[in-house]
A = this chain, B = another copy of it.
Amino acid sequence: MIEDGVRELAKGKNFAALTTLMPGGQPQTHVMWVDCDDEHILINTEVHRRKFKNVEADPRVTVAIWNAENPYSFAEVRGRVVETVTGPDALASINALSNKYTGGDYAPEIQSERVVLKISPERQISR
């Protein structure tokens, strides 16, 4: 289950640093939109991205989420990608994220294939 402190950050209009592992193990980190359900951190990316290829090869990821108003308040979730979702559900998810962060649907001219990374936590720390 996602802990309350993590949920609050992931549900808010806050940003996350998603870290995946490059071949060989060097970390790759990007600043991303973020959401969660009861059991997973949710990150929406595109299937052609390096970070997606990385999690296909090694599902271990870490997500740090900070309060946009106060970055001293942040959570770290270490875990792994246990499921990926493409198709209409991934499109619905990017539109929901876009509405949270920008107030409107995602730019419809961007036709790349979206994918939701469902991240199951193994360690959750909030501070």
Contacts and interface: CB of A to CB of B under 8 A. Distances in A.
Contact of A15 (B61, B62, B71): B71
Given A27-B27, A76-B30, A15 B64 contact: no
Contacts of A31: 17, 64, 66, 71-72, 74
Interface stretch (A18-26, A38-46, A110-118): A18-26
Which secondary structure characterizes the binding site on chain A?
strand
A29 B60 contact: no
Contact of A60 (B17, B26, B66, B72): B26
Give the size category of A's interface with B.
20 to 34
Given A68-B71, A71-B68, A29 B25 contact: no
Given A62-B19, A71-B15, A78 B26 contact: yes
Contacts of A26: 60, 62, 78
A99 interface: no
User: Which of A22, A31, A76 has the largest count of B CB atoms less than 10 A from its CB?
Assistant: A31
